[in-house]
Amino acid sequence: MNFHRPPTFADASRIAAAASGLTRFLAGGTDVLVQLRAGMVTPEDLIDVKQIPGVFDVVRTADGGWRIGVAVSGMDLRRHEDLRAEWPGVVEGMNLVGSTQVQGRATLVGNLCNGSPAADSVPGLVAAGAMVEVTNAAGVRVVPVETIPAGPGKTTLQKGDVISAVILPPRGEKGGDAYLRFIPRTEMDIAVVGCAVSLTVEADVIRAARVALGAVAPTVLLVEEAAAAIIGTTLDDAALAALGKAAEGAAKPITDRRGTKEFRIELAGVLARRAAKIAYDRAKGTAK
Amino acid sequence: MTKIHVSATVNGEAVEFLADPRESLLDCLRDHLGLTGSKEGCGTGDCGACSVQVDGTLVCSCLVLGAEAQGKQIQTVEGLAQGSALHPLQRKFIEHAALQCGFCTPGILVAAKALLEQNPDPTDEEVRFWLAGNLCRCTGYDKIVRAVQDAAAEMREAV
């Protein structure tokens, strides 16, 4: 195994593009090292991106959003008060991944590229309308987070593609987001279902919304019908009922040892309603 | 296989070792530096027995490559005691009998130290959540939480 520490993302991309065997990018390593050890993955080239300038930084973008480096850990996000105040749902999703020790290393991009349909940080990013910057030989492109997962353990990234940053849009006035998941214990478990809601309000009326579901399909789902059910409402009981129904309708889960198909469908509705209420309260500034 | 030359600081002392690129930091600590306090329970980041601090951040050393330690400050359980004087956490673990087989103890001591550095007065719930990644199959955790709280109280008085 060749261990590389490239100084730029362009170099990282070149190494990956030129590799004849399997490659892996290393940031937090909390999935890659487990795969290495289990013998699931034996990369010919392991490319550590942590020498690249800016990978540990969270910076305000010109338009008022955020640019998050690919090696920023869950713990770093939790300690970033401004980011957490604007995007609590994104941060709380990431903070549900693993233990304190794992939080010290695990990253948003790692969670995304591991390709788990149950990845806890991904619904929050999708609901937020987050983008990722992808670097390859052709240059740099910016694509929505929801275009990256392709199915369990798979992404749409091609050979030579490397994600070089996560970009959150400006939160703006009166916006709020939330992520909830169901697990049968209090922590350190994999989501049976997860749901994130991000919305903005104007005079208590929801003007824009995005709803994302995790662990109910081969990839995290952006559920436009669920968002449509609450846009233009004050999240009254009728809107919540319609939201729940839309989430249930979009859920296409499997039955496995974590939960049955029927249970997951019901959970999708319950979590969508609860997450929407939290996001709505946060947007209005009335969250407890 | 080309080995990678790594220079780091472990418990305040400069160290150098040659790491196979596939070797974990845990393997390097144990096999190249003779620091066998950090244990391998699972090797997959689930049990916390290999907990160390890298530049102050609590991590599982089984989920860090030895090569990644280049230039880092690493603190292991061997760095807790000052000479023959045990760290308050170590003394309180003994007083409260917060261990039985002891295999998880080094990782829990390092994790608890990291907690108290940033939160000198945690609630029981905060201690339990912080230590959720440190598995103990003997004690049932209660004595561990009490030992951590007692050590925290003593350390607050000492400041």
Annotated domain spans of chain B: 4-79, 88-158
Q: How far apart are CA A114 and CA A112, in angstroms?
A: 6
CA-to-CA separations, A155 to A26, A211, A228, in angstroms, rounded: 16, 21, 28
pLDDT at position B145: 98
Report pLDDT digits (tens) over B100-112. 999 999 999 999 9
Q: What would the pLDDT profile of A119-178 be if each residue is shown by its tens digit?
A: 999 999 999 999 999 999 999 999 999 999 999 999 999 999 999 999 999 998 899 999
Quick one: tokens of B47?
């049990």
- Pairing of the two strands B73-75 and B57-60: unpaired
pTM of the model: 0.96
Burial letters for B65-77: b for 16+ Cβ neighbours within 10 Å, e otherwise? Answer: bbbbbbebebbbb
Q: Is the pLDDT of residue A181 over 90?
A: yes
Nearest to B64 among A29, A46, A187 (CB): A29
Instruction: Say if B25 is an interface residue toward chain A (CB within 8 Å).
Output: no
In tens, the pLDDT along A260-281 reads 999 999 999 999 999 999 999 9
Say which residues have a Cβ less than 8 Å from residue B74's Cβ, sequence separation at least 6.
Answer: B8, B9, B10, B11, B25, B29, B52, B53, B54
- Touching check for B49 and chain A: CB below 8 Å? no
Pairing relationship of beta strands B73-75 and A58-60 according to DSSP bridges = unpaired
What ipTM was estimated for this complex? 0.95
- Cβ neighbours for A189, distance < 8 A, ≥ 6 positions apart: A183
What is A175-284's CATH number? 3.30.390.50
User: How does pLDDT run across A200-213, given as a tens digit for each residue?
Assistant: 999 999 999 999 99
Dihedral sign from CA coordinates of B122, A180, A80, A164: positive
The answer to whether domain B4-79 and domain B88-158 are alike in fold is no
DSSP letter (8 states) at residue B28 = I
Q: Say yes or no: domain B88-158 is CATH 1.10.150.120.
A: yes
With residue B143 as reference, give the H or E element that holds it: helix B142-158
Interface probe with A: pick from B59, B70, B126, most Cβ of A within 10 Å:
B59
Domain B4-79 matching CATH 3.90.420.10: the answer reads: no
Low-confidence ranges of chain B (pLDDT < 50): none
Residue A186 has pLDDT above 90, yes or no: no
Give the whole-number percent of chain A exceeding pLDDT 90: 94
Q: Average pLDDT for residues A233-240, to the nearest whole number?
A: 98
Average of pLDDT values for A51-55? 98
Q: What is the pLDDT of residue A256?
A: 95
Which residues from B are below 8 Å from A98, CB to CB?
A: 45, 133
Contact B45 A33 (CB under 8 A): yes
Handedness of CA B79, B84, B88, B92 (dihedral sign): positive
SS (H, E, C) chain A: CEEECCCCHHHHHHHHHHCCCCEEEECCCCCHHHHHHHCCCCCCEEEECCCCCCCCCEEECCCCCEEECCCCEHHHHHHCHHHHHHCHHHHHHHCCCCCHHHHCCCEHHHHHHCCCCCCCCHHHHHHHCCEEEEEECCEEEEEEHHHCEEECCEECCCCCCEEEEEEECCCCCCEEEEEEEECCCCCCCCCCEEEEEEEEEECCEEEEEEEEEECCCCCCEECHHHHHHHCCCCCCHHHHHHHHHHHHHHCCCCCECCECHHHHHHHHHHHHHHHHHHHHHHHHCCCC
Q: B22 to chain A: which residues are within 8 Å by CB?
A: 1, 36
Which residues of chain A form CATH 3.30.390.50?
175-284
d(CA A100, CA A75): 8
CA A14 to chain centre: 26
Tokens at B55, concatenated: 């530049």
* pLDDT at residue A30, as a whole number: 97
Comparing CB atoms, the residue among B44, B58, B64 nearest residue A100 is B58
Residues 6+ away with beta carbon under 8 Å from A104: A73, A74, A75, B54, B57, B58, B59
Specify the 3-state DSSP secondary structure of B90. helix
Query: What is the per-residue pLDDT for A288?
Result: 67
Instruction: Say what the pLDDT of residue B1 is.
Output: 62
Predicted local distance difference test score (pLDDT) of residue A113 = 98
pLDDT-derived band at A187 (thresholds 50, 70, 90) equals confident
Specify the fold of A2-116+131-168: 3.30.465
Residue A180, Cα to own-chain centre: how many angstroms?
A: 13
Average model confidence (pLDDT) across chain A: 97
Which residues, in sequence order, are CB contacts of A85 under 8 Å at separation 6+?
none
Query: Which chain B residues are Cβ-neighbours of A110 within 8 angstroms?
Result: none
